[in-house]
Amino acid sequence: MARAGLDKNPREVAEMFDGVAKGYDRTNSVMTLGFDRRWREWSRRVLDAKPGEKVLDLAAGTAVSTVEYAASGAWCVAADFSLGMLLGGAHRPVPKVAADALRLPFADDSFDAVTVSFGLRNFNDTEAALREMARVVKPGGRLVVCEVSTPTFRPFRFVYMRHLLRVLPLIARFVSSNPEAYKYLAESMRTWPDQRALGEVVARAGWEDVAWMNLTGGMVALHRGTKPAPPEPA
Ligand SMILES: C[S@@+](CC[C@H](N)C(=O)[O-])C[C@H]1O[C@@H](n2cnc3c(N)ncnc32)[C@H](O)[C@@H]1O
């Protein structure tokens, strides 16, 4: 079965997600002890999409997050480059688009908000993807990123980084259709920037008013930002 490396070759990443698509939602809930639902609820609250708004849910996978956002009455589209993942969510009543985060098939300034949950870490150029997201959002539009992060309580951080992430692939042997993929997952979690460092990448990519909040002791963080309005003509 496919397993991506830390160079995050797009073809390998897409194949790996095709391989875990079957049963992804169930495996995700088991591996996160059901916290995934709460993280999605928090993402929806921070996104605060209104009826009539257009929202892009990038790296949406099986669209489990997209339906959560669509419950607000906004028009939400799920985009992902793994056809396996999109097909896994075929029963979910939201529009779905096969798309690479680094070359989005949308015009400039198309959306009121863009969001990505547990996807940003898999893109092979984080900053370029954040710039591409800014391109498709209207000036004043919002970004919400939900991603694994660094636990804030130092003793727990040590245990989590040193031990818990090593256990993850072992648990995956029992619940996932592709346990190899969870080795990549654990490696990519260990090497991912902490809250502040990611905030700096988001700001460098052109988003302003960047802020973050920790969820579940910082194991997950929500980053938000706003696309700057164009300068007033002189
Ligand atoms: C861990 S899943 C997250 C799915 C969903 N957002 C969730 O919260 O359950 C990561 C998703 O990112 C997608 N992905 C990774 N790199 C991508 C890229 N360059 N363009 C589009 N999707 C990508 C994968 O196909 C996969 O479906």
Give SS3 for 215: strand
Ordered domains of the chain (ranges, CATH): 10-226 (3.40.50.150)
Q: What percent of the chain has pLDDT over 90?
A: 67
Task: Please give the full DSSP string across 59-122, using - where no structure is assigned.
Answer: T-TTTHHHHHHHTTT-EEEEEES-HHHHHHTTTSSS-EEE-BTTB-SS-TT-EEEEEEES-GGG
- As a whole number, mean pLDDT of residues 130-142 equals 98
H helix runs in the chain, sequence order: 10-20, 24-31, 35-47, 64-70, 83-88, 126-136, 154-159, 165-175, 179-190, 195-204
Report whether residue 185 contacts ligand 1, using a CB cutoff of 6 Å.
no
Q: Is the CB of 24 under 6 A from ligand 1?
A: no
Q: Is 80 in the pocket of ligand 1 (CB under 6 A)?
A: yes
pLDDT at 2: 60
Give the number of the atom of ligand 1 that is nearest the alpha carbon of residue 101.
Answer: 20
The atom number, within ligand 1, closest to the CA of 129 reads 19
Above 90 in pLDDT, residue 5?
Answer: no
Q: How far is the CA of 197 from the centre of ligand 1 (A)?
A: 21
Pocket test for ligand 1, best of 30, 122, 146, 188 (most atoms within 8 A of CB): 122
The rounded distance, in Å, linking the Cα atoms of 185 and 108 is 32
Give residue for tokens 């490696």.
187
Residue whose CB lies within 8 A of the most ligand 1 atoms, among 7, 8, 11, 17, for a mutation test: 17
Answer yes or no: is pLDDT of 3 > 70: no
Q: What is the mean pLDDT of the chain?
A: 91
Reduced to 3 states, what is the DSSP secondary structure of residue 196?
helix
Which long-range contacts (C-beta less than 8 Å, at least 24 apart) are formed by 152-158?
A: 152/214, 152/217, 152/218, 153/217, 153/218, 156/217, 157/218
Q: Is the CB of 65 under 6 A from ligand 1?
A: yes
Residues 86-116 have pLDDT tens digits of 999 999 999 999 999 999 999 999 999 999 9
Tens of pLDDT along 46-84?
999 999 999 999 999 999 999 999 999 999 999 999 999
Q: Which amino acid is at 34?
A: G
pLDDT reported for residue 230: 82
Contacts of 99 (CB under 8 A, 6+ apart): 58, 79, 80, 81, 105, 106
Residue 194: CB atoms within 10 Å: 14
Q: Which of 140-144, 172-176, 186-190 has the lowest mean pLDDT?
A: 172-176
The predicted structure's pLDDT at residue 176: 65
Give the ligand 1 atom nearest the CA of 25: 9
17-21, 158-162, 196-200, 212-216, range with the lowest pLDDT = 158-162
Cα pseudo-dihedral 53, 81, 61, 69, rounded to 10: 0
3-class SS of residue 151: coil
What are the φ/ψ torsions at residue 116 (nearest 5 degrees)? -145, 125
CA–centroid distance, residue 118 to ligand 1 (Å) = 7
Judge if the beta carbon of residue 86 lies within 6 A of ligand 1.
no
Beta-ladder partners of 24: none
227, 206 Cβ separation under 8 angstroms: yes
Q: What separation in Å is there between the alpha carbon of 83 and the centre of ligand 1?
A: 11
Comparison of pLDDT for 16 and 205, the residue scoring more: 205
Annotated binding residues for S-adenosyl-L-methionine: 62, 80, 100-101, 117
**Of 30, 7, 2, 33, which is closest to residue 17 (Cα–Cα)?**
2
Cα(94) to centroid of ligand 1, in Å? 16
Token look-up 């639902």 returns: 37
Could you tell me which residues are annotated as the binding site?
62, 80, 100-101, 117
